Amino acid sequence: MDNDDGDGDDGVAAWARDLGLPGIADVHTHFLPPRMLRRVWEHFEAAGPLIGRPWPITYKWPEEQRVEHLRHMGVRMFSALAYAHIPDMAASLNDWTLDFAERTPGCLPSMTFFPEPGNLDYVTSALDRGARIAKLHLQVGGFDPADPLLDGVWGRLSEVGLPVVVHAGSGPVKAAFTGPGPFERVLQRHPRLVAVIAHMGAPEYAGFLAIAERYPQVRLDTTMVATDFFAKIAPLPDALLPAIKSLGLNGQILLGTDFPNIPYSYSHQLISLDRLNLGEDWLRAVCWSNAMALFRESDESWR
């Protein structure tokens, strides 16, 4: 894995083995119903003027090919993160993502929710079906995470310790309820909530790192962080690297990639993390053992 083009993906599994890992655990990947996925791809590919640069999808492949590519790279654990952005959408998305996980070894059973009446009922149903991770997108949804309609769900997820990947940062485009403040209000009410802040909270890295230091249950994922693409949109300040290293070694930073919705190769994300020079112990923690600890798994069960 010594180059950043698509051929570099062929070296990902060997890169993980050289670190002494049985594979890679990626908590931020997307598998969606085909019609929705096409719309997501269309949105990204049309978003160039909005974000200031083109966003072509590297892995615009059929579902089976995308799953097989993850396996080829040694990605043993991954997710099927869907997110509802309007009412009356989350329950059907949960049916699809949970069905996907049932037929796809290695996929964490994934769910979503929305501030709407009855959300605790379909969240409880998803938990009963074995959901292990959730996704919420404050930028796309445009809602306040502290909306009273979400309070019951936050409370339930806090009780069971289910991780929720939350796009709470303002990258690539600021929205009404992005940034550290709105989501910290949720944590003030539910300090045991296991939130995983997507994209490390970009571009408000410092604010979200500080939140993780205040709330030890909070994690951050590395999705797009330190890549050449994100450096033009949300550069990572070097001054934050000591905190990122400390939190990673403390179990609070997890690998995320946004596969397949990325404008570069999967290997480029790993190369970008490697060149932060935070050490092999940090890479082992971020790319594998922190996820194993979070989901209470043993290495052997994922070999």
- 93-105, pLDDT tens digit by residue? 999 999 999 999 9
Mean pLDDT value across residues 275-299: 95
CA angle 199, 16, 273 (to 5 degrees): 30
pLDDT at 302: 66
Q: Where are the domains of the chain?
A: 6-293
pTM of the model: 0.96
- 230-271, pLDDT tens digit by residue? 998 899 999 999 999 999 999 999 999 999 999 999 999 999
Task: Report the share of the chain in percent with pLDDT over 90.
Answer: 89
At 52, the pLDDT band (50, 70, 90 cuts) reads confident
At 2, the pLDDT band (50, 70, 90 cuts) reads low
Query: Is it the case that residue 301 has pLDDT exceeding 80?
Result: no
Query: Is it the case that residue 3 has pLDDT exceeding 70?
Result: no
At 7, the pLDDT band (50, 70, 90 cuts) reads low
pLDDT at 303: 65
The CATH homologous superfamily to which domain 6-293 belongs is Metal-dependent hydrolases (3.20.20.140)
CA distance 267 to 258: 12
Query: Is it the case that residue 163 has pLDDT exceeding 90?
Result: yes
Residue 303, class by beta-carbon neighbours within 10 Å (0-12 exposed, 13-18 middle, 19+ buried)?
exposed
Backbone φ/ψ region at 134: left (φ over 0), alpha (ψ -120 to 50), beta = beta
User: Structure tokens of 120?
Assistant: 């605790």
pLDDT at 171: 87
